[in-house]
Amino acid sequence: MDFNQVRYFLALANTLNFTRAAEQCYVSQPALTQAIKRLETELGGELFLRDGRHTRITALGQSLRGHFEQIDHTRHLVRATARAVTSGEIAELNIGVMCTIGPWLITEMLDTFQAQHPMISITLHDVTPASIPPLLLSGAIDGALCARHGSPHSQLRYISLFEERMVVAFPPGHEFSNRAAVPLRAIARQRYVDRLHCEFRQEILQFHEAHDIQQDVAFRSQREDWIQSMVLDGVGVSVMPQFSLLHTKLEHRPIIDPVMSRKVEFAVVDHPQSPPALSELLKHVSTHDWSVAQRDASQSASS
């Protein structure tokens, strides 16, 4: 049994006329007749009775009709699904996100993408900078939102999204509240909560060494949420990306002397042609209005 035989059967069951059924199926009448006969032989009984010009369905044909309709429905569903997957309408994307990238900026972008492509599901994975190249090259993730601090990987392509300043975060009522910006030297004199995932951590340590500063480090952690909670509770201050601020009560000021900023990018494997779903995401990421997101994030973080 094949899909064509099922299709011919249903056409004949609906029309009870070999000529019209053949026309609906775009085949010759002899071809349709032979296909029906082969189907009857396979099933071991007649599906239609021919009485001169009249054709009627048998009890066997009537009992099988619902099953054939279900098979034909499945055939259409399989073909539609195949077209959707091939075109990228249905797909699953695995996207890595560095833990230092705040959700303020990416939530709106992902939400608008999902609204435009409801059949593409996205799974977000927490990744570290060092793990991004091997994860992308192995196919474990399809793309990564990252803040590269160093030379680009030769096998990856980077789409620049926005630039983000590094700020010093502190609790309300802190002495930094009266400043418009804070020099790194002043931060070094404060009790400090050390972010182990900070891209500028090495530069900060080198600054301390160059200026013979021994900073009072209260805690070190890889967890951004723990760090921000400790800062809010007055344990110490910390340097972090502006839009990674999750606690709305935290205050922050830009860092000067030196000014610190990072570029946030979307990284993918540098292939000539990406899969359809990933191509749609790349297009969306590239055309998204990040300036609006940065403004909203800044307002949310400072409110």
**What would the pLDDT profile of 164-207 be if each residue is shown by its tens digit?**
899 999 999 999 999 999 999 999 999 999 999 888 888 898 99
Please name which of 201, 206, 234, 246 lies closest in space to residue 220, comparing C-alpha atoms.
Answer: 201
Q: How far, in Å, CA of 239 to CA of 201, rounded?
A: 9
Eight-class DSSP state of 176: G
The two structure tokens encoding residue 248: 């709305």
Place of tokens 């069951």: 13
Q: What is the pLDDT of residue 32?
A: 94
Q: Which domains, from first to last, does the chain contain?
A: 3-87 (1.10.10.10), 98-303 (3.40.190.290)
pLDDT over threshold 90, residue 153: yes
pLDDT over threshold 90, residue 274: no
Position 303 confidence tier, pLDDT thresholds 50, 70, 90? very low
Please name which of 55, 148, 25 lies closest in space to residue 98, comparing C-alpha atoms.
Answer: 148
Has this prediction a pTM greater than 0.85? Answer: no
Please name which of 116, 172, 162, 121 lies closest in space to residue 142, comparing C-alpha atoms.
Answer: 121
60 exposed, middle or buried (CB, 10 Å; 0-12, 13-18, 19+)? Answer: middle
Residue range 201-250, pLDDT digits in tens: 888 989 988 988 888 999 999 999 999 999 999 999 999 998 888 888 99
Position 102 confidence tier, pLDDT thresholds 50, 70, 90? confident
Q: How far, in Å, CA of 99 to CA of 279, rounded?
A: 24
pLDDT over threshold 50, residue 81: yes
The torsion of the CA quartet 230, 234, 238, 242, rounded to 10 degrees, works out to 90
pLDDT over threshold 80, residue 293: no
Q: What is the pLDDT of residue 295?
A: 64
H helices, E strands: number in the chain: 11, 12
Q: What is the pLDDT of residue 59?
A: 94
- 14-26: b (≥16 Cβ within 10 Å) or e: eeebbeebbebbe
Mean pLDDT across the chain, nearest whole number? Answer: 89
Position 299 confidence tier, pLDDT thresholds 50, 70, 90? low
Place of tokens 């249905």: 90
The two structure tokens encoding residue 277: 């779903």
Rounded to an integer, the average pLDDT of 116-138 is: 91
Beta bridge partners, 57, equal 48
pLDDT over threshold 50, residue 301: no
Q: How far, in Å, CA of 98 to CA of 74, rounded?
A: 42
Q: What is the pLDDT of residue 211?
A: 87
Rounded to an integer, the average pLDDT of 246-257 is: 90
Contacts of 165 (CB under 8 A, 6+ apart): 241, 242, 254, 255, 259, 260, 261
Rounded to an integer, the average pLDDT of 21-36 is: 94
Q: How far, in Å, CA of 105 to CA of 128, rounded?
A: 19
Beta bridge partners, 220, equal 194
The torsion angles phi and psi of 15, rounded to 5 degrees, stand at: -100, -30
